[in-house]
């Protein structure tokens, strides 16, 4: 059986692990953080509690000249689900004009007509995207005030045009967060070897082939069962 190591059980790693496993590959998924047991991850109203938590890498920028020398916080997820376990779940495809501009500049296959079906496939597969949730009175009043000031109501900003005032589309089901770990990797966890609490330091490359990874503590021999692949 073919084997693979996927580093990080975050937004992309969870999907890669699932796709490989579905293709019959024996996957080891290594995550620096732990499992998503913090209740605040699953309750969208508590997302702010996750900043500076054990699930946050707690990165900061260097002092910013144009921000009065402040260092800005960059929350990044250190947990299964990665930053998709910490973010606001807002789903934005982007503007059609941007994709078409990329294609005009030479990125063949990246025009809006090419990527829109891919987005639709994602949204109709395992990751739910919805705006079917009640607005608070202040949220509804903001939308109403914007329309009174002349901003057009845009019922679907993911249809290619971002202009206007809209209700956010989010990755949520039944009022609970859904991220790529929950949608793709967790349901098949029994088919994966999931290793948590281990930070990958580097990739082991021999003769141009990636054969394994070295953990942050620098010792790969003791963990050879999952660090190297045949």
Distance between CA atoms of residues 148 and 144, nearest Å:
6
* Range list of H helices, 10-95: 13-22, 39-42
- Which two structure tokens, joined as six digits, stand for 169? 């589309």
Under DSSP, the state recorded for 52 is: T
- Which two structure tokens, joined as six digits, stand for 11? 């937004």
pLDDT of residue 220: 46
* pLDDT, tens digit, 9 for 90 and up, residues 75-88: 999 999 999 999 99
Q: How confident is the model at residue 206 (pLDDT cuts 50, 70, 90)?
A: confident
- Which two structure tokens, joined as six digits, stand for 184? 């793709």
Q: Where are the domains of the chain?
A: 1-89+178-198, 90-170
- Which two structure tokens, joined as six digits, stand for 5? 């190591």
CATH architecture observed for domain 1-89+178-198 = Irregular (4.10)
Is the pLDDT confidence value at 226 over 60? no
Question: What is this structure's pTM?
Answer: 0.85
* C-alpha closest to that of 166 among 128, 129, 139: 139
């Amino acid at each position: 059986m073919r084997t693979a190591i996927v580093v990080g059980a975050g937004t992309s790693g969870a999907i890669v692990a699932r796709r490989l496993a579905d293709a019959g590959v024996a996957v080891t998924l290594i995550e620096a953080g732990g499992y998503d047991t913090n209740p605040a991850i699953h309750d969208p109203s508590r997302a702010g509690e996750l900043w500076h938590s054990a699930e946050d890498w707690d990165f900061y920028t260097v002092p910013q000249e144009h921000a009065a020398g402040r260092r800005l916080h960059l929350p990044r997820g250190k947990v299964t689900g990665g930053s998709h376990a910490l973010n606001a779940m807002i789903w934005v495809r982007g503007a059609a004009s941007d994709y078409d501009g990329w294609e005009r500049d030479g990125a063949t296959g990246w025009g809006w007509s090419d990527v829109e079906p891919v987005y639709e496939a994602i949204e109709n597969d395992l990751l739910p995207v919805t705006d079917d949730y009640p607005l608070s009175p202040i949220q509804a009043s903001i939308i109403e005030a914007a329309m009174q000031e002349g901003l057009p109501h845009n019922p679907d900003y993911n249809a290619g045009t971002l202009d206007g005032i809209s209700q956010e589309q989010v990755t949520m089901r039944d009022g609970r967060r859904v991220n790529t770990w929950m949608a793709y990797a967790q349901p098949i966890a029994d088919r994966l070897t999931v290793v948590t609490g281990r930070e990958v330091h580097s990739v082991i490359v021999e003769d141009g082939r990636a054969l394994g990874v070295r953990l942050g503590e620098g010792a790969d021999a003791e963990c050879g069962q999952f660090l190297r692949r045949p």
